[in-house]
Structure 1
Amino acid sequence: MELNGTVLDRVAETAFSVAVAVVPLAALFILFQVFMLRLPRREVMDILRGSLLASVGLFLFLLGVSIGFLPFGRAIGQAIGSVEDWWWIVAIGLFLGFVTTWGEPAVRILADQVDQASQGTIPGILVLYAVCIGVAVWVTMGFLRIVHGIPILYLLLPGYVLAVLLIWRSDSDFVAIAIDASGVATGPLANTFLLALALGASSAMENQDPVTHGLGLVALIAVAPIISVTVLGLLIGRKRLKEQKP
């Protein structure tokens, strides 16, 4: 009975969160439709049906994340915290960081929008790989920080200094993409599964406070796409310069 109550509570909380996110947008669309857009009725119905389907999908996704990924991630994190060989931690961090970001819906949407907005001059698949690789590297460093008790400022401060330097040197198009990529990379999967991993790993370590050592991974994930996407921009810019030379 208690388990059913917990599940029902999560269902209600998730439904409320989705409603809070979607209903104002739907109301805004209806207001614009009445006073400005005046789209054909068929097109309006298609938009409303699509919004309903997206809401149902978002509800199921968030519910599955909250019920499945949180305990699953914490259990894997506790196993990682007990691993003694550092190269296993590196391999696990790279793999989990990459595949988690690869499955993040917002990252894929951003990659598709970059491809469309640039008319294919900036391939979306390259942006997707750059974000996934960047997050994988920084998730690995986050795990090593937890295992070895490294203060987060030792990673965070140099990371953001490097990000600012790369932004200053990079093309303005890639700066905008990198900043947006930083936001979408810290989506539902990162904020549930990877954060649960970090908390689980820190709780498995002796003499470590999960609040001090387990939290902070999302901040590392946020800086990762800024660095990787701006580096991608520098590489693409250098390639274009070589192609322009006679």
Structure 2
Amino acid sequence: MNAAPWLEQVLETGWSVLLAILPLALVFLVFQALFLRMPAREVRRILLGTVLAALGLFLFLLGVGLAFLPFGRITGEALGALPQQWLVVPLGVLLGFVTTWGEPAVRILADQVEEASGGSIRRSLVLVTVCVGVALAVGLGLFRIDHEIPLLVLLVPGYGIMLGAMWLCRTDFVAIGADAGGVATGPLANSFLLALAFGASSTMGGQDPLVHGLGLVALIALAPALSVMVLGIVVGRKGQRKESPS
């Protein structure tokens, strides 16, 4: 990448972050002047935190634009061009697992679940369950792209199964599963896996990425919610066995 496009990416990312952060900062200052009236020390602390958050967001988005999206697309193109097409699904499962494993939002959810449950629902159990769900969704999504399966053929039965699982699993796992679908589509997983689907669809028979590349995120949002609710069913059954008299 030569200097001009790189500089253009930096300026574009900086402007996007400014548009995202500045309105929030202005709203805070207005509320501070009219209602909050916090000490100056607290205001400085909040503004310093806002600047640090903006800097972190800028660096993250710049890294996504310069490296993560191109890397995901190139990886997808390499998968789509494999002569052994049977490898596409297992490699997609592996990429889905490791990408979700590194997703900060998933780890935050797992920490909060363990804290809120008093340790009865372990962090590692939630983390692995969400990662497995996303991994299976990515593998299924690449299989769909390879065989040109309509998205509704997978989504409609999937949501039907999830609605049934909601009635069978423990209520706390329903709430965790609903949040799991949102955090699994966080910025890290979303940027890489969506680019992966675009790259794969462009090389698998020259398919239209708008038709076959998009839609993977919908599967990713569904799968961890379903996997967590299935976990809730299993945990509930084990609890019933322990409580039942021998």
Tell me the TM-score range normalised by the shorter chain: 0.7 to 0.9
Identity across the alignment (%): 58
Following superposition, the deviation at residue 61 of structure 1 comes to 1.1
Distance 1:244 1:18 in 2: 54
Distance 2:109 2:19 in 1: 23
Distance 1:48 1:229 in 2: 38
Q: Does 1:239 align with 2:238?
A: yes
Following superposition, the deviation at residue 197 of structure 1 comes to 1.0
**Residues 188-207 of structure 1: pairs in structure 2 closer than 5 A:** 188-207=187-206
More displaced 10-residue stretch of structure 1: 228-237 or 130-139: 228-237
More displaced 10-residue stretch of structure 1: 36-45 or 218-227: 36-45
**Residues 54-65 of structure 1: pairs in structure 2 closer than 5 A:** 54-65=53-64
Q: Which runs of 5+ in 1 are unaligned?
A: none
Distance 1:21 1:240 in 2: 46
More displaced 10-residue stretch of structure 1: 15-24 or 167-176: 15-24
Match in the other structure for 2:94: 95
**Paired residues of 1:62 and 1:188 also in contact (CA < 8 A):** no
Distance 1:238 1:34 in 2: 55
Change (3 A) 1:8 1:48: same
Following superposition, the deviation at residue 108 of structure 1 comes to 1.5
Following superposition, the deviation at residue 43 of structure 1 comes to 4.9
The residue type paired with residue 172 of structure 1 is T
Change (3 A) 1:110 1:25: farther
How many pairs were matched up? 245
TM-score (norm 2): 0.87
More displaced 10-residue stretch of structure 1: 173-182 or 80-89: 80-89
**Residues 1-246 of structure 1: pairs in structure 2 closer than 5 A:** 3-30=2-29, 42-246=41-245
**Paired residues of 1:66 and 1:192 also in contact (CA < 8 A):** no
Following superposition, the deviation at residue 37 of structure 1 comes to 5.7
RMSD of the alignment, in Å?
Answer: 2.4
The residue type paired with residue 148 of structure 2 is G
More displaced 10-residue stretch of structure 1: 116-125 or 62-71: 116-125
**Paired residues of 1:97 and 1:137 also in contact (CA < 8 A):** yes
Deviation track 1:5-40 (CA, whole Å, cap 9, x = no partner) reads: 322332233223333333344444455556666666
The residue type paired with residue 104 of structure 2 is P
Change (3 A) 1:183 1:20: farther
Q: Which runs of 5+ in 2 are unaligned?
A: none
